[in-house]
Amino acid sequence: MPQEKENKNSALVVWDGELVSPGTLWKRGVSFLSPGMLWLFVFLLLPCVILVLVSFAGRGEYGELVWEFGLENYSRLIGFGAFGWTANYLMILWRSVVTALITTVLSVLIAYPLAFFIAARPERTRYFWLTLVIIPFWTNMVIRAYAWFLILAPEFPLAKLAAFLGMIDPGSPLYPGSFAVYLGMVSMFLPFAALPLYASVERLDWELVEAARDLFATGPRVFVKAILPQTLPGLYVGITLTFVPAMGVFVVPDLLGGAKYMLVGNLIRDQFGASRDWAFGSAISISLMAFTLAGIYLFRRKNFDEYKTRKSA
Amino acid sequence: MKKGLRLENINKHFGETQALRDVSLEIHPGEFFTLLGPSGCGKTTLLRIIAGLEFPDTGKTLLGGSDITSLPASKRPVNTVFQSYALFPHLSVFENVAFGLRSRKFPDHEVNRRVKRRLEMLDLEGMETRLPNQLSGGQRQRVALARALVNEPQALLLDEPMSALDAKLRARVQVELRRLQKKLGQTFIMVTHDQNEALTVSDRIAVMRGGRIIQFGPPEHVYDNPISKFVAEFLGAANLIYGKAVNGGLLTDIGFFRLKENPPWSRGAVAIRPEWVRIRDHEPEKNGVRGTVKEVIYRGAYFDILLEPGPLRVRTDTYRRVKVGDQLWLELLPEEFAILND
């Protein structure tokens, strides 16, 4: 009997200054985690499972879901249809990737000087500038897109200037088209790129910059060797936060890109809307998600490995 | 003779505050020169002006005879060891040390040769591929030294180079730094607030306060002959004795002391270091004080003793056993007094 008691005692662990059995600890952990887990289950896991299931279903005559499982939706996405193979959908996907990439690059190129500009302000006015960057966040995307209509309208200076330079016909607006789309996209995603970059720039160790200059480095070499490496964490987050939503965007190309500017976001929207083909829409959604996650995974893994070797060893 | 570094009438403001006031200084080639002072005295600003990381409002900087006042840091043949070392965290030890040579577009084989030699000299072989955060504090400091020295600067600037090291290592590194400087025969200019460090390593020191250099010279000279109360107390323990100048001596509350020369004032102060106060068995012929021991502080290698009247501070070897309440004769020799001019 005493022995059993001793065994029981040795199984106890000290946790946060308290002697508890692993079972209690386990139960406590589960109860602490359960609200979050429940939330993730209801709002993330469950919808994803439904989406995956639906993506293998079919479309009925009137747009209803038909529960006959198959791979038709996916084969259709990669181009196999009733009339042989076509690259239409793959082209849309490709165009989305390119648009998202260009948007990301443009956003980062603008965000860099912006972050340095804000970080260089005296502390009192810094929050004012930050607020200016954040305000668009609080404004509805559609409203912002319509605001661009106004700015790009034929009566306004931008369009007049373009007409004067012979880039467009006099009296026509600067939309729809790639220019308007990128303008809208960059204005929408700039805060996502600028804020994490700003966080990095604000914590910049300027002594490294001085060291680089002291060691005969000028201009570009100072930036590449002393500033850029310090801002990489913010840059990675900014790229991720810009690229992921830019892949799925549909409001901007819809309003500012015109009928010809079909991105994967619009395609998905059409399947759940006008075409009433939920099954195909789900298949595209799942593919988009898989692509984006794979891209982010590859991108982050490379950086994470670098980070790990720097931290450990 | 090769010309060293010359500062002429340097003034520098930061907003309302004046960091440097009319500082002039000449540092000889091959000299270990130390700027010593409490924080906020302008010593770091002066070093940064020499480095080209800060520019004076007025005044001139000359190096080797040529005016470098407005030359940016990247164009000056001087290099700095920063207080935090400022090693590039993403670059290996080798690339950190090679940085300056690569900036100046040295060919690879030349970079290799020079970096290798410096790493060897500073006992860093085998560390080439390590990143700075994989090194100890002492190793990091040596990388910072190698990174600066590999460029063969006309002057090496050291900004509080020991502040990140623990006390024991610090004492050893000071001696090593001095040895290295002697071996290289290069000009080292160091900034520190630690008077011990300054006295240990320097050929000459300049004591700074409030943006001015108030005294400079060889460490033993400044230590033995401080010109003001501030210098006397900043460079170590000192007994300050106030009194009236009376024919060849000083009349004070604790007696009359003969001095080596007449003070330039009628009322003022003199200083004497605790270790220069002699303990005597009998009353000395002159400059004697009879004191009672109030406090004895055992320091291992010596005693610090506080006596009344005064309080007078005396430092003595531990072979002489002293206890509280003992009555002692002290002799304060005329040549051991420093006459202060404030």
Gap from A158 CA to chain B (nearest CA, Å): 42
Question: Token match 């100890």: residue?
Answer: B136
B1 pLDDT more than 50: no
Overall CATH class of domain A91-311: mainly alpha
What gap in Å lies between CA A101 and CA A150, rounded to an integer?
27
Summary mean pLDDT of chain A: 86
Between B199 and A178, name the one with better pLDDT: B199
Residue B41 backbone dihedrals phi, psi, to 5 degrees:
-90, -5
Question: Domains of chain B by range and CATH?
Answer: 5-229 (3.40.50.300), 238-339 (2.40.50.100)
DSSP E strands in chain B: the ranges are 5-14, 17-27, 32-36, 58-63, 66-67, 78-81, 155-159, 188-192, 204-209, 212-217, 239-246, 249-252, 255-258, 267-272, 278-280, 288-298, 302-308, 312-317, 327-331, 338-339
Q: Where are the domains of chain A?
A: 2-55, 91-311
Which among A172, A184, A100, A182 is positioned nearest to A143, based on CA atoms? A184
**Sign of the dihedral through C-alpha B171, B177, B182, B186:** negative
List residues of chain B with CB under 8 Å from any CB of chain A: 51-53, 72-75, 79-80, 82, 84, 86-91, 99-100, 103-104, 131, 133-134, 147, 151
| The two structure tokens encoding residue B129 | 């591929």
A5 pLDDT above the threshold of 50: no
Question: How many angstroms away from the CA of B241 is the closest CA of chain A?
Answer: 45
Span B73-102, average pLDDT: 95
CB contact under 8 A, B82 and A313: no
Q: Which of B74, B82, B134 is facing A207, going by the closest CB pair?
A: B82
Please judge whether A214 and B79 are an interchain contact, meaning their C-beta atoms are less than 8 angstroms apart. Answer: yes
Whole-number percent of chain B with pLDDT over 90: 75
Q: What pLDDT is stored for residue B63 in this prediction? A: 93
In b/e form, how buried is each residue of A164-191, taking b as 16+ CB within 10 angstroms? eeeebeeeebbbbbebbbbbbbbbbbbb
Mutation target to probe the A interface, by most A beta carbons within 10 A, among B78, B80, B135, B140 is: B80
Angle at A56 between CA A50 and CA A57, to 5 degrees: 85
CA–CA distance, B310 with B277 (Å, rounded to integer) = 13
On the question of pLDDT at A284 being above 80, the answer is yes
Average pLDDT, rounded, for chain B: 92
* Alpha-carbon distance values, A71 to A53, A76, A132, A285, B286 (Å): 11, 9, 48, 15, 113
Write out pLDDT tens, residues A126-180.
Answer: 999 999 988 887 888 888 888 888 888 888 888 888 888 878 777 778 878 888 8
What pLDDT digit, counting tens, does each position of B253-280 carry?
888 999 988 888 999 999 999 999 998 8
Q: What is the pLDDT of residue A86?
A: 82
pLDDT at residue B321, as a whole number: 82
User: What's the pLDDT band for B248 if we cut at 50, 70, 90?
Assistant: confident
pLDDT exceeds 50 at position B196: yes
Q: What is the mean pLDDT of residues B44-51?
A: 95
Say whether pLDDT at B318 is over 80.
no
Cβ-based contacts of A311 with chain B (< 8 Å): 133
